[in-house]
Amino acid sequence: MQKFVDFIAERHPDAASATPVDGKNGRFISVKLTDGSYITYPMGKKSYELDVPTDITELNVVISDDGQAIATMNTYVEAGATFTFK
């Protein structure tokens, strides 16, 4: 499973920093780019507690079916045989 910081480095080579931020819909990772703009990624709801700081280096990344990257503390592994659609 890929680490979230490695994913950010690959997807955004112009990333300058990443900071956990809390919003009304939960915790997110705010990535500041070298041009001063920001990109925000959600964290999985069970991957944080609002009163506990997040160590970004411990987060993994999972990509949802719609392509959204989500920072997560979980580690996902294949749990069965792959079904191939025709």
Model pLDDT for residues 3-57, shown as the tens digit of each residue? 999 999 999 999 999 999 999 999 999 999 999 999 999 999 888 888 889 999 9
Question: How far lies 67's CA from each of 41, 51, 62, in Å?
Answer: 12, 29, 9
**pLDDT at residue 83 greater than cutoff 90:** no
pTM of the model: 0.81
- For residue 76, the model assigns a pLDDT of 63
Phi and psi at residue 51, in whole multiples of 5°? -90, 5
d(CA 79, CA 47): 21
Residue 77: what pLDDT?
Answer: 65
**Secondary structure of residue 69 in the 3-state scheme:** strand
